[in-house]
């Protein structure tokens, strides 16, 4: 079962990917984790990626695809995997398809967690992060016992710049320009499935499981 998770930032695709990975006992792979692991282990690919990141540059598509393919060749991916946050663009999707095809492999599903922009802005502007331990909360969905204070370490909570409405709107604009075309791409491949991401997290999960087990 080889799955790609699609959806705007804040749509909840990362949470769903983790839950699916636990249920089906397959790895949840995010490019951020791959970069960090390769840089920490000082692999050749990791050293190359670090050069770009240290200069504040995006890691080129070819190198990113090589890192992803290197990861999915590992033994724990033999039953499948869930890609989260990659591919982000059509060139990345095409490069990934070619790399998989060279391995006589292909993706089974591209699952799009569909949430309207206004819901995302509202959802993300309610997030709060602890300045001490980094724990995250939500003023509506995951409130703390004492308002503005972390349950774990007692430090104050802040609204991160990333979660401010104006930043979220900018990120959504980039998403629609770059990543939205992937939805058409995977639709054309016949593997796109869409779920309503505005409902309860458990309902979203159940909808995805129904698709995978249909």
Q: Is 128 tagged catalytic?
A: no
CA distance between the termini of the chain: 13
Question: Which candidate in 71, 123, 127, 128 is catalytic?
Answer: 127
In a domain, 162, yes or no: no
Structure tokens at 202: 């458990």
For 180, the domain range is: 2-116+169-212
Give me the pLDDT at residue 169, please.
Answer: 92
Question: Which candidate in 13, 123, 128, 193 is catalytic?
Answer: 13
Question: Which residue is associated with the tokens 């060279």?
Answer: 102
In a domain, 181, yes or no: yes
Q: What is the rounded CA–CA span in Å between residue 179 and residue 163?
A: 19
Q: Is 13 tagged catalytic?
A: yes
Structure tokens at 100: 């998989």
Q: What is the rounded CA–CA span in Å between residue 80 and residue 109?
A: 11
Q: Is 71 tagged catalytic?
A: no
In a domain, 107, yes or no: yes
Question: Which residue is associated with the tokens 């998403």?
Answer: 175
In a domain, 93, yes or no: yes
In a domain, 148, yes or no: no
Question: Which residue is associated with the tokens 């699609």?
Answer: 6
Contact 110, 6 (CB under 8 A): yes
Question: Which candidate in 18, 50, 155, 160 is catalytic?
Answer: 160
Q: pTM value?
A: 0.83
Q: What are phi and psi of 81, to 5 degrees?
A: -165, 165
Give me the pLDDT at residue 181, please.
Answer: 92
Q: Is 88 tagged catalytic?
A: yes
Total domains, the chain: 1
In a domain, 139, yes or no: no
Question: Which candidate in 48, 122, 155, 171 is catalytic?
Answer: 171
Question: Which candidate in 2, 71, 88, 193 is catalytic?
Answer: 88
In a domain, 72, yes or no: yes
CATH number of domain containing 6: 3.40.50.300
Concatenating the DSSP letter of every residue in 33-97 gives HHHHHHHHTT-HHHHHHHHHHHTTPPPPHHHHHHHHHHHHTSGGGTT-EEEES---SHHHHHHHH
Give me the pLDDT at residue 196, please.
Answer: 97
pLDDT digits (tens), the chain, 214 positions: 999 999 998 899 989 999 999 999 999 998 888 888 999 999 999 999 889 888 888 888 889 999 999 999 999 999 999 999 899 889 999 999 999 999 899 999 999 999 999 999 998 999 999 999 989 999 988 999 999 999 999 999 999 988 899 999 998 998 888 888 999 999 999 999 999 999 999 999 999 999 999 8
């Amino acid at each position: 079962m080889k799955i790609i998770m699609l959806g705007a930032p804040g749509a909840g695709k990362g949470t769903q990917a983790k839950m699916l990975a636990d249920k089906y006992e397959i790895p949840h792979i995010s490019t951020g984790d791959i970069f960090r692991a390769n840089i920490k282990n000082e692999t050749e690919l990791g050293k190359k990626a670090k050069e770009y990141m240290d200069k504040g540059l995006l890691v080129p598509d070819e190198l990113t695809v090589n890192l992803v393919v290197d990861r999915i060749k590992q033994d724990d991916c033999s039953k499948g995997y869930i890609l989260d946050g990659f591919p982000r663009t059509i060139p990345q999707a095409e490069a990934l398809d070619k790399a998989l095809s060279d391995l006589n492999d292909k993706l089974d599903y591209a699952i799009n967690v569909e949430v309207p922009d206004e819901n995302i802005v509202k959802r993300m502007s309610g997030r709060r992060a602890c300045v001490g331990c980094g724990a995250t909360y939500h003023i509506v969905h995951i409130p703390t016992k004492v308002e503005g204070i972390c349950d774990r370490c007692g430090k104050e909570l802040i609204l991160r710049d990333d979660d401010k409405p104006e930043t979220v709107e900018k990120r959504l604009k980039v998403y629609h320009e770059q990543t939205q075309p992937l939805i058409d791409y995977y639709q054309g491949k016949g593997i796109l499935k869409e779920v309503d991401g505005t409902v309860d997290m458990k309902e979203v999960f159940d909808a995805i499981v129904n698709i995978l087990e249909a």
